[in-house]
Amino acid sequence: MKKQILKYDVSHPVINDKDFLVWRKFDINSWPTVVLVAPNGRVIYQKSGEDIIDLFEPFIEVLLDSDMEIN
């Protein structure tokens, strides 16, 4: 997997979840699924399907622009 990550210059985090631990923890049923997780482990937003990353932008902007503590 490391070779492919380097070959394609992947800059986002990548995990090998061969035992589906992450899938089970976050109740993921399909691929792709993107999950926005707070530092404390709480799921802020989760969405499955193609072309979904833009849906996260408003959540990220609000969190970055606020002094809100994520609990």
Domain ranges of the chain: 17-65
**pTM for the full predicted model:** 0.62
**The predicted structure's pLDDT at residue 16:** 87
C-alpha span between 30 and 43 (Å, rounded): 17
C-alpha span between 23 and 10 (Å, rounded): 21
Place of tokens 């070959």: 7
CB 52 within 8 A of CB 34: yes
Run of H or E including 61 = helix 57-65
18-34: per-residue pLDDT in tens? Answer: 999 999 999 999 988 88
* Structure tokens that stand for 66 in this block: 């606020």
The answer on pLDDT for 55 being more than 70 is: yes
Residue 36: name the closest of 10, 55, 15 by CA: 55
Least confident of 12-16, 50-54, 64-68: 64-68
